[in-house]
Amino acid sequence: MDCKTLILFLFFFTLISSADFIIHPSNEVNLLDSKASQGELGWISSPSHGWEEISGVDEHYTPIRTFQVCNVMEYSQNNWLRTNWIPRNSAQKIYVELKFTLRDCNSIPMVLTCKETFNLHYLETEEDQGNKFREHQFSKIDTIAADESFTQMDLGDRILKLNTEVREVGPMTKKGFYLAFQDVGACVALVSVRVYFKKCPFTVRNLAMFPDTVPTDSQSLVEVRGSCVNNSKEEDPPKMYCSTEGEWLVPIGKCLCNIGYEERGVACQACRPGFYKASSGNVKCSKCPPHSYTHQEGSVHCGCEKNYFRADEDPASMACSRPPSAPRNVISAINETSVILDWNWPADTGGRKDVIFNVVCKRCWPGPRQCEPCRGAVRFLPRAFGLTNTTVTVADLLAHTNYTFEIEAQNGVSFQAPTIRQYAAVTITTNQAAPSAVTVIRKDRTSRNSISLSWMEPERPNGIILDYEVKYYEKQEQETSYTILRSKGTNVTLNGLKPDTTYLLQIRARTAAGYGSSSRKFEFETSPDSFSISSENSQVVLIAISSAVAIILLTVVLYIVISRFCRYSKSKHPDEKRLPFGNGHLRLPGIKTYVDPHTYEDPSQAVHEFAKELDASSIAIDKVVGAGEFGEVCSGRLKLPSKKEICVAIKTLKAGYTEKQRRDFLSEASIMGQFDHPNIIRLEGVVTRSKPVMIVTEYMENGSLDGFLRKHDAQFTVIQLVGMLRGIASGMKYLSDMGYVHRDLAARNILVNSNLVCKVSDFGLSRVLEDDPEAAYTTRGGKIPIRWTAPEAIAYRKFTSASDVWSYGIVLWEVMSYGERPYWEMSNQDVIKAVDEGYRLPPPMECPATLYQLMLDCWQKDRNNRPKFEQIVSILDKLIRNPSSLKITASTASRPVNLLLDRNSTDITSFHTMGDWLESARTLPCKDAFSGVSYSSCDTLAKTSAEICLTEVRPAATCPEWEPSMGITTL
Ligand code: AMP
Kindly indicate the confidence band of residue 229, based on its pLDDT and cuts at 50, 70 and 90.
very high
Nearest CA to ligand 1 atom 3: 762
Q: How far apart are CA 745 and CA 813, in angstroms?
A: 13
Higher pLDDT, 570 or 859: 859
Residue 700 Cα: closest atom of ligand 1: 20
For residue 751 and ligand 1, the question of a CB distance below 6 A is answered with: yes
Amino acid letter for position 88: R
Nearest CA to ligand 1 atom 16: 649
Q: pLDDT digits over 902-914, tens only?
A: 333 334 334 444 4
Question: Would you say residue 823 has pLDDT above 90?
Answer: yes
pLDDT score for 736? 94
pLDDT score for 925? 29
Query: Which H helix or E strand runs over 137?
Result: none
For residue 292 and ligand 1, the question of a CB distance below 6 A is answered with: no
Nearest CA to ligand 1 atom 4: 628
Q: How far apart are CA 156 and CA 133, in angstroms?
A: 40
Q: pLDDT digits over 49-87, tens only?
A: 899 988 877 667 777 888 999 988 888 889 999 999 999
For residue 693 and ligand 1, the question of a CB distance below 6 A is answered with: no
Number of Cβ within a 10 Å radius of residue 103? 27
Q: How far apart are CA 473 and CA 659, in angstroms?
A: 52
pLDDT score for 728? 97
Q: Is 261 left (phi over 0), alpha (psi -120 to 50) or beta?
A: beta
Least confident among 32-41, 525-534, 911-920? 911-920
Least confident among 449-453, 555-559, 839-843? 555-559
Q: Is 536 left (phi over 0), alpha (psi -120 to 50) or beta?
A: alpha
Residue 749 Cα: closest atom of ligand 1: 4
pLDDT score for 154? 55
Residue 630 Cα: closest atom of ligand 1: 2
For residue 102 and ligand 1, the question of a CB distance below 6 A is answered with: no
DSSP 161: -
Cα-based distances in Å from 744 to 149, 185, 594: 131, 141, 17
Kindly indicate the confidence band of residue 530, based on its pLDDT and cuts at 50, 70 and 90.
low
Query: Which H helix or E strand runs over 193?
Result: strand 187-198
Choose the residue to mutate in 622, 625, 654, 699 for probing ligand 1, maximizing ligand atoms within 8 Å of C-beta: 625
Cα-based distances in Å from 895 to 457, 836, 936: 47, 24, 17
**Mean local confidence (pLDDT), 653-669:** 87
Kindly indicate the confidence band of residue 5, based on its pLDDT and cuts at 50, 70 and 90.
very low
Kindly indicate the confidence band of residue 3, based on its pLDDT and cuts at 50, 70 and 90.
very low
**Residue 808 burial class via C-beta count within 10 angstroms: exposed 0-12, middle 13-18, buried 19 and up:** buried
Cα diameter, the chain: 174
Residue 761 Cα: closest atom of ligand 1: 3
pLDDT score for 282? 80
Q: How far apart are CA 904 and CA 856, in angstroms?
A: 10
Q: pLDDT digits over 304-342, tens only?
A: 999 999 998 899 899 999 999 999 999 998 888 889 999
Q: Is 678 left (phi over 0), alpha (psi -120 to 50) or beta?
A: alpha
Question: Would you say residue 965 has pLDDT above 60?
Answer: no
Q: Pairing state of beta strands 139-145 and 176-183?
A: unpaired
**Mean local confidence (pLDDT), 371-375:** 86
Instruction: Give the SS3 label for residue 925.
Output: coil
Choose the residue to mutate in 751, 763, 768, 769 for probing ligand 1, maximizing ligand atoms within 8 Å of C-beta: 751
Among the listed residues 706, 737, 744, 762, the single catalytic one is 744
Give the helix ranges, DSSP H, for 797-901.
801-816, 828-836, 849-858, 869-881
For residue 704 and ligand 1, the question of a CB distance below 6 A is answered with: yes
Kindly indicate the confidence band of residue 23, based on its pLDDT and cuts at 50, 70 and 90.
low
pLDDT score for 368? 67
First to last CA, the chain: 127
Q: How far apart are CA 572 and CA 109, in angstroms?
A: 162
Residue pair 697/648 in contact (Cβ under 8 Å)? The answer is: yes
Name 203's Cβ contacts closer than 8 Å, sequence gap at least 6.
209, 210, 240, 248
For residue 700 and ligand 1, the question of a CB distance below 6 A is answered with: yes
Chain Cα centroid distance, residue 413: 18
For residue 681 and ligand 1, the question of a CB distance below 6 A is answered with: yes
Question: Would you say residue 898 has pLDDT above 90?
Answer: no
Nearest to 670 by CA among 735, 741, 600, 573: 600
For the chain, give the mean pLDDT: 80
pLDDT score for 838? 92
Tell how far the Cα of 772 is from the centroid of ligand 1, in angstroms: 12
Least confident among 151-160, 560-569, 821-830, 854-863? 560-569
Q: pLDDT digits over 663-707, tens only?
A: 888 999 999 999 999 999 999 999 998 888 999 999 999 999 999
Kindly indicate the confidence band of residue 585, based on its pLDDT and cuts at 50, 70 and 90.
very low
**Residue 146 burial class via C-beta count within 10 angstroms: exposed 0-12, middle 13-18, buried 19 and up:** buried
Active-site residue, 744 included: yes
pTM of the full structure: 0.42
Residue pair 450/484 in contact (Cβ under 8 Å)? The answer is: no
Higher pLDDT, 876 or 661: 876
Kindly indicate the confidence band of residue 238, based on its pLDDT and cuts at 50, 70 and 90.
very high
Residue pair 442/479 in contact (Cβ under 8 Å)? The answer is: no
Instruction: Give the SS3 label for residue 25.
Output: coil
Q: How far apart are CA 707 and CA 679, in angstroms?
A: 18
**Mean local confidence (pLDDT), 274-297:** 93
Bond prior to 842 in cis (omega within 30° of 0):
no
Kindly indicate the confidence band of residue 358, based on its pLDDT and cuts at 50, 70 and 90.
very high
Counting residues of the chain whose pLDDT is more than 70, the rounded percentage is 79
pLDDT score for 550? 67
